């Protein structure tokens, strides 16, 4: 399974995740993770949002297209 597919499934089952949480979960540094997340965002699979009142943090969630793609991956397992 590709790293992209693993991220899709993680977000599918967890709803949303902070950038830091994804880095810890997949044991990758920020640059490596962003090199996968940015193209996924451009494909329309994920969306990025800043949340927080005092400290803004980046959260990633699946779009409708991302949900459909994650379902396909999950069904094929």
DSSP SS3 for 62: strand
Query: How do residues 26-47 score in pLDDT, each as one tens digit?
Result: 999 999 999 999 999 999 999 9
Is residue 72 within 8 Å of 27, Cβ to Cβ?
no
The residue among 3, 16, 4, 8 whose CA lies nearest residue 75 is 8
**What pTM, to 2 d.p., does this model score?**
0.90
Neighbours of 62 (CB within 10 A): 23
In the chain, the number of structural domains is 1
Tell me, what CATH number does 37's domain have?
1.10.10.10
Domain residue limits at 14: 3-76
Give the residues of the chain that fall short of pLDDT 70.
none
């Amino acid at each position: 399974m590709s790293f992209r597919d693993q991220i899709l499934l993680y977000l599918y089952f967890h709803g949303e995740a902070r950038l830091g949480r994804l880095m810890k979960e997949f044991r990758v540094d920020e640059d490596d993770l962003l090199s996968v997340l940015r193209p996924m965002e451009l494909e329309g699979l994920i969306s990025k949002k800043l949340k927080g009142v005092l400290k803004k943090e980046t959260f990633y969630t699946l779009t409708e297209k991302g949900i459909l793609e994650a379902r396909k991956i999950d069904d094929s397992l």
